[in-house]
Chain A
Amino acid sequence: MSPLERRRLGSGLVFISPWLIGFTVFLLIPVCLSFYYSFCDYSLLQTPAFIGLDNYRELLGDPVFWQSLRNTGVYASLALPAGMLVSLGLALLLNQKVVGQSIFRTLIFLPSLVPTVASAMLWLWLFNAKLGLINTLLDMPPFAATIQGINVALGAVHLPQIQTPISWLTDPAWALPALAFMSLWGVGQTVVIYLAGLQDVPGELIESAELDGANAWQRLWNVTLPMLSPVIFFNMIMAIIGALQEFSIPYIMTGGGPARATYFFTMYLYDNAFTYLKMGYASAMAWIQLLIVLLLTGLSFWLSKRWVHYQSK
C-alpha cells in the first residue's frame, strides 16, 4: 500500500468511524451479547449464569409464547395483504394525472406523520363501541343493510353472525382484525415508495402494449405490475418484518387484551425483559424472532424468482 493509499484509508476510517463505533457499540456487541444471554439466567442485575438450552426449552412449553406467536401470525396474515393491496391501489390512483394530485398525495401521506400514541388515542375513539365513528357509520342504512345481508348469508351456512354494535377492542374475535384494519392508517410511506416505482415503469412499454390493443387491466397486469415487482417485493419484506415486530399500537390500545387476544410476540418479549426481569428468556425470544424473520425472508426470496422481474435481466 502506497503512502497515499494509506493516508486515504486513514481518512476513510476516520470519516466512517462515527458509524463504525456506533454500529459496534450499539448493535454488534449487544447482538452478540444477547445471543450469549439467551443461554443464561440473567436479570440485568445479576451476573449471567449459563444454563444451556433451558430458556429455549422453557419457551417451547410456554403456552403464552405460542399464543403470542399465533396472534402475531394471524395479525401479519391479515395486515400484510391488506396493507399491500391498499397501498398499491392508492399508489395507482395517485399516479393518475388528475387535478389536485399533489393534494391527494399529501393527504394520503399525512397520517404516517402522526405520532403513534396520538394515532392510538384517535383510533381508540374511532373503535369505541358506543360513541365511535366506525360503529356510527355501520349503523347507517346502507351499511346496516349490508351487515344484515352478510348475516343472512352467514346464517345460511350456519356460521356465527355479526353482532352490532361491534365491540372492536373488547371482543376477542374482533380485536385482532380491528388492529389489522387500523394498520392501514400508516400506509402512506409504502404508497410513496410505490409511487416512486411507478415513475420508473418505462412509458414505452405501456405505450407499445396500448398499441397492441391491451386494455387498462391488461396493461396493469402484464406491464405495470411485473415492472413494479421489485418494489412490491421490497415492500413485502419490510411489511413482514414490520408486522412481526408490531408493538406500540397494541401496547397502547389494548395492553394485549382481551384475554391475551392481542398479545403480540414483541409484547411478551418486552414484558419478559423489563417487567418480569428475565433478560435471558427475552433474549432467547428475540433470537427465535430473528430466526422466523430470516426464514420468511429467505422463503420470500426463493419464491421471488417466480414473480419478481428486474429490468436489467
Chain B
Amino acid sequence: MLIVRGIILTALAGVLLYLLLFTGGAVAPEARGRIVVVYWEKWTGEEADQMMQIVNDFNNTVGKRKGIYVQYLSMSNITQKTLVSTAAGVPPDVAGLWDAQVPQFAAINALEPLDDLAKQHGITPDYYKPVYWKGCTYEGRLWGLISTPAAAALHYNKTLFLKHANKLKAAGLDPDRAPRTIEELDRYAAALDDIEIDSYGKKRIRASGHLPMEPGQWIAYTAYWFGGELFDAKTDRFTLTSPEVIRAYEWIKSYSVRLGRDSMTDFTSGFGQFNSTQNAFLSGAVAMEQEGPWMANYIENLKPSMNRWKFPKEKERDMSPEERRNNYEWGVAPFPSAVPGQDDVTFAAFDVLLIPRGAKHRKEAFEFMAYVNRQDVMEKLTSLHCKNSPLRIVSPDYIRNHPNPYIGIYEKLAASKNAHGVPPIPILPEVIDELNATTQRIYLLQAEPKDALADAQKRLQEKLDDFRKRQRLRQGGEI
C-alpha cells in the first residue's frame, strides 16, 4: 500500500515539475530558430489587434531577415506585472506602458537606457516632435521610444451649435466656429447650456456647453492652458501655488459656481462610461470637450451617424479631408488658451515602449522598437489607432487618408512650441492622483483653489523631498 502511494505521489510530483519547467515558454512554430522577443502591451480589444498587425508585419519582414520573433501578449494591469517580473529577474523584453512611467521607472533604475542603441540605429531627437522626444528622456538619458501619441484638443458638436445658433448669436458669438479664447469658451458654454427649473425650484441641467471635468482625463494638466507649469525641474520644486496654476483652478471652480455644485453632480452622475453610447459627448449631453484624436474611431464605432452628417460613408472615399470634415457632425479646434498670444497649447500624451532592466534580448527588443518608429510603420499604426504621429515629418498621404479628417490639427498642436508633455517628476503617478483629488475638492466646492493647491504643494513637495533624501541615502550620501 505504501509503495503504491509512493508511486502515485512521485508520478504527481513529476507531472507538476514537468508542467512548471517545460510548458511556461511555449512559442509559435515560426519562432523556431529565431530569438524570441517577449512584448507585453496594455491594450486590449481593437487596439491590441491593431498592434498585432504591426507585430505580424515585423515578424514576416525585418524579424525574419534578422532572426527575431516578437511574441506579443496583451494584458491588463501591465504596470504592476512589469514591475513584479522585473523585480523577479524575468521581465518582458519590451513593455508597452504610459508616459508617466518613464520618469518613475527610470528614477528607480527599472529600465535599460537606450542611448547607445538609438545611436546605432540613427535615431536622433530631430526625428521626433520635440515634446515626445523630451518625454522619453529623463535626466539626460533616453529610456523609451513612442508607440502611439495623442494631443489634447477641443471637440465640439456642430449640431448643438446650430441648434443654439440664436442664443450664440445673441451672445455675440459665431455658431459656425469653435471658441478661440478661454473667455470665449465660457461664453459659448453658457449659451449652450440647457437648464430648467423643476417643480421644487431646483436647477436641473439637461445639457451643458462645457464641463472642465468631463471627461477630465488630463485635468491635472489644465494649468498649461493658463500659462502655468506644475513643476520646476531646475529647482526641483512644485509650482502649484503660482498665480497661473491658481487661475486655472479658479476657472474649474467657476463652472461649479455658475451651474451649481449639486445640479452638476446630478447631471454628471447620469453619464455612462467613456466607451459607450452614453458617453457625454456622443449623447449630446456636453457640447464641447477636451479629447484626443481617437474620438473619430470611438464615434465611428459607437455613433457612426455623427460621421455621416450630409453624405453616406460610401461617398467618403472620394472626398478630400476638407469635405470629410464638412460631413462630420463634430469639429476639432485647439483648446483655447487663457494667455493672449499663446496659441496651439496642448498636452501631448503618449504610450511608450520600454525595455525593463534585466531584459534578456535588449538589442533585439530595440530592433522591434525602432521598426515601430519607422515612418511608414508609425503612420500605419497611428492611422489604425486613430492618433497623430510622434514623428517630425509625416507624409501627405498620411494626412489625406487618416481616419480622422482633423488629424492635421492634432499634428499642428503636437508640433507646437506650446505643446507640453509629462513633467520629469519621479513620483509622477502620485502627483497625478493628488492633483485629481485636489481638482475634485475644488470642483465640489469643498475648498478654495488657493488653499487646496497649497495643501497639494505641501504634500507633494514633502513626498518628493523624501524621495530625493532616500535616493541620496542609496547613493551613500548624507541623508
Contacts and interface: CB of A to CB of B under 8 A. Distances in A.
Interface stretch (B104-112, B149-157, B173-181, B392-400): B104-112
A170 interface: yes
Interface of chain B, helix or strand or loop or mixed? Answer: helix
B49 interface: no
A128 B269 CA distance: 6
Contacts of A165: 266
A313 to B, nearest CB: 44
Contacts of A276: 427, 429-430
Interface stretch (B76-84, B123-131, B295-303): B76-84
Nearest to A276: B430
B270 A163 contact: no
B266 A167 contact: yes
A311 interface: no
Contacts of A130: 266, 269-270
Given A45-B87, A45-B357, A167-B265, A274 B79 contact: yes
A20 B466 CA distance: 40
Contacts of A115: none
A171 interface: yes
B470 A45 contact: no
Given A41-B470, A167-B269, A258-B440, A275 B87 contact: no
A51 B471 CA distance: 12
A257 interface: yes
B265 A45 contact: no
A56 B303 CA distance: 52
A44 interface: yes
A45 B108 contact: yes
A50 to B, nearest CB: 9
B270 to A, nearest CB: 3
Interface in A23-51: 41, 43-46, 49, 51
A259 B473 contact: no
Given A44-B84, A45-B86, A271-B433, A277 B108 contact: yes
Interface string B414-438: 0000000000000101100100110
A263 B433 CA distance: 12
B202 interface: yes
A84 B462 CA distance: 42
A64 B441 CA distance: 13
B83 A45 contact: yes
Contacts of B202: 163
Interface string B248-284: 0000000000000010011011100000000000000
A138 to B, nearest CB: 13
A145 to B, nearest CB: 14
B35 interface: no
A183 to B, nearest CB: 20
A131 interface: yes
A312 B337 CA distance: 77
Interface string A43-70: 1111001010000001001111000000
Contact of A49 (B269, B436, B466, B474): B474
B269 A129 contact: yes
Given A45-B109, A168-B269, A274 B437 contact: no
Contacts of B446: 172, 259
A170 B265 CA distance: 6
A259 B444 contact: yes
Contact of A275 (B79, B270, B437, B440): B79
A128 B86 CA distance: 41
B259 to A, nearest CB: 14
B459 interface: yes
Nearest to B479: A51
Contacts of A271: 433
Interface string A165-181: 10111111000000000
A129 B267 CA distance: 8
Interface in B430-479: 430, 433, 436-437, 440-441, 444, 446, 455, 459, 462, 466, 470, 473-474, 479
A172 B270 contact: no
A35 to B, nearest CB: 19
B92 to A, nearest CB: 15
Nearest to A163: B262
Nearest to A259: B440
Given A277-B83, A277-B104, A51 B473 contact: yes
B427 A257 contact: no
A47 to B, nearest CB: 8
Contacts of B433: 271, 275
Contacts of A128: 269-270
A171 to B, nearest CB: 5
Contacts of B466: 58
Nearest to A7: B2
Contacts of B429: 275-276
Nearest to B447: A259
Interface string A119-132: 00000000011110
Contacts of B268: 170
Contact of B473 (A49, A58, A163): A49
B473 A44 contact: no
Nearest to B441: A259
A305 B280 CA distance: 57
Given A51-B473, A274-B83, A276-B427, A43 B108 contact: yes
A143 to B, nearest CB: 15
A300 to B, nearest CB: 33
A41 B110 CA distance: 15
A62 B463 CA distance: 10
A44, A51, A259, most chain B CB atoms within 10 A: A259
Contacts of A64: 459
B394 to A, nearest CB: 35
Nearest to B436: A257
A39 B268 CA distance: 44
B202 to A, nearest CB: 7
Contacts of A46: 108-109, 474
A41 B474 contact: yes
B288 to A, nearest CB: 21
B440 A257 contact: yes
Interface in A230-279: 257-260, 263, 271, 274-277
Contacts of B436: 257
25 contacts: A45-B108, A58-B466, A61-B462, A128-B269, A130-B266, A130-B269, A165-B266, A167-B265, A167-B269, A169-B269, A170-B268, A170-B269, A172-B446, A257-B440, A258-B444, A259-B437, A259-B440, A260-B437, A274-B79, A274-B83, A275-B79, A275-B430, A276-B430, A277-B83, A277-B108
Q: Which 6 A-B pairs have the closest CB atoms?
A: A130-B270, A129-B269, A259-B440, A170-B269, A44-B87, A167-B269
Given A257-B437, A259-B444, 19 more contacts: A14-B9, A41-B470, A41-B473, A44-B84, A45-B86, A46-B109, A51-B479, A63-B455, A129-B269, A165-B266, A170-B265, A170-B269, A171-B269, A258-B440, A263-B437, A274-B79, A275-B429, A277-B83, A277-B104
